[in-house]
Amino acid sequence: MSVLKDLLYAFWQQNFEIFSDFNLSFCVYLFVFVILFLENGLLFAAFLPGDSLLFFIGVLIAKGVLSFPITLGVLTVAVSLGSWISYLQGRLLGNTRLGNNCWFAKFSKYYHHRACLMFRRHGLSALIIGRFVAFIRTLLPIVIAFSGLDSVRFHFFSCISAFLWVFIIVLLGFILGNTAFFQFHEQKLMCCLMLLPIMLLTVGLVFYISAFLFKK
């Protein structure tokens, strides 16, 4: 509980020197790991704000709070594991009554159609393209599992797409965090970046619930 209080204090006061404590930085890694794993691995968690969170992590790296190599390695593993779980869902439940009538069929047909179309057009390279599109990155492994594609090829492309997604988004945040403009308006921009994932989480959750409740 004390670690959580210290984290909230550090972000609220923007006192990033406190992250020299290993326990605090470890908690940040663990929190982001769990969020990205859930977003990429479980359909009901697809609304989680992975992109904005990665961008914010890049800014924290620019502030010296986290390590770029460790972040890249840890979060690539989180995303890859999440995609593997998503793929397993498709293999185990995709052709069953449970899968067709319960969880998958209730999801938005729009995103289902987009994921299927992307896979038909681009094959496994769709994993790289779709990784940068919210909801699609969670659905694609399931769609690919439906096709009966062997897991070795899937995991190879999945790991590549996970690495590229994490690297590019974090790098963009890192670049922004090192600009003179950001440093001049640092306090206001940091507040915006901290609030953005919360706002996107709220919007995504409302949309997600609506997709289920008002599905035709």
For 57-84, the pLDDT digits (tens) are 999 899 888 899 999 999 999 999 999 9
Q: Is the pLDDT of residue 119 over 90?
A: no
pLDDT value for 182: 87
Q: Exposed, middle or buried by CB within 10 Å (0-12, 13-18, 19+), for 66?
A: buried
Mean pLDDT for all residues in the chain:
79
Q: Is the pLDDT of residue 215 over 60?
A: no
Cα–Cα distances (Å) from 173 to 6, 31, 111, 136, 183, in that order, read 24, 18, 27, 22, 13
CA atoms lying within 13 Å on the CB side of residue 62? 21
Percent of the chain with pLDDT over 90: 25
pLDDT band at 104 (very low <50, low <70, confident <90, very high): low
Give the range among 96-100, 144-148, 199-203 with minimum mean pLDDT. Answer: 96-100
Q: Is the pLDDT of residue 8 over 90?
A: no
